[in-house]
């Protein structure tokens, strides 16, 4: 088991040190940042090939299936942006307060230029999410998939 010694020496119910989550090689990071810019929106970001693929979702990422939301593709962001919270100063691009709304890992099921299916494992967002690109533009539809009956 990775980090065995590290974990054995610490009682994480008592120390505030990192618990030493080990990243599954098949797991990637996602984050949703609440961004109080000119218009409040939520930035949905998925780690893909070393960068954060990003979309601005004006109405936020739905927590229930059946709700479709517009997601506008924005520029790729660096991976460490997933930890960013703070205030972008007035006059700068995206000026306003950024807060992490949810974050976690995801398992990719399908990632192409037109369609993305991922299983999110966040605090708030859990389950399969689909992004479908509309025509050849920047607009995508984002929704949660209905639970599969097993």
> What SS3 class is residue 8?
helix
Residue nearest to Mn ion (CB): 35
**Does 43 sit near Mn ion (CB under 5 A)?**
yes
Q: What are phi and psi of 55, to 5 degrees?
A: -135, 145
Piece of the chain touching Mn ion by CB under 5 A; list 29-37, 77-85, 117-125, 136-144: 29-37
> What SS3 class is residue 46?
strand
First to last CA, the chain: 31
Q: By C-beta, is 43 or 102 nearer to Mn ion?
A: 43
Piece of the chain touching Mn ion by CB under 5 A; list 1-9, 12-20, 31-39, 83-91: 31-39
State both tokens at 138. 């920047």
| CA 9 to chain CA centroid, nearest Å | 32
**Does 128 sit near Mn ion (CB under 5 A)?**
no
Question: Distance between CA 147 and CA 113 in Å, rounded?
Answer: 24
Question: How long, in residues, is the chain?
Answer: 150
Pick from 28, 32, 35, 46 the residue near Mn ion by CB under 5 A: 35
Q: By C-beta, is 29 or 73 nearer to Mn ion?
A: 73
CB of 42 to Mn ion, least distance (A): 8
* Residues binding Mn ion (CB under 5 A): 35, 43
């Amino acid at each position: 088991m990775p980090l065995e010694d590290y974990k054995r020496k610490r009682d994480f119910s008592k120390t505030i040190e990192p618990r030493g989550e080990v990243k599954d090689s098949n797991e990637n990071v996602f984050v949703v940042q609440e961004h109080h810019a000119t218009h409040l929106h939520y930035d949905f970001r998925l780690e893909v090939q070393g960068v954060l693929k990003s979309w601005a979702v004006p109405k936020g990422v739905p927590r229930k299936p059946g709700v479709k939301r517009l997601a506008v593709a924005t520029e790729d962001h660096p991976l460490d942006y997933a930890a960013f919270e703070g205030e972008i100063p007035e006059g700068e691009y995206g000026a306003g307060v950024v807060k992490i709304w949810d974050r976690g890992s995801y398992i990719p099921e399908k990632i192409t230029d037109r369609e993305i299916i991922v299983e999110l494992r966040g605090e708030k967002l859990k389950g399969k999410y689909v992004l479908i690109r509309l025509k050849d533009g920047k607009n995508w539809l984002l929704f949660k998939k209905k639970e599969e009956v097993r």
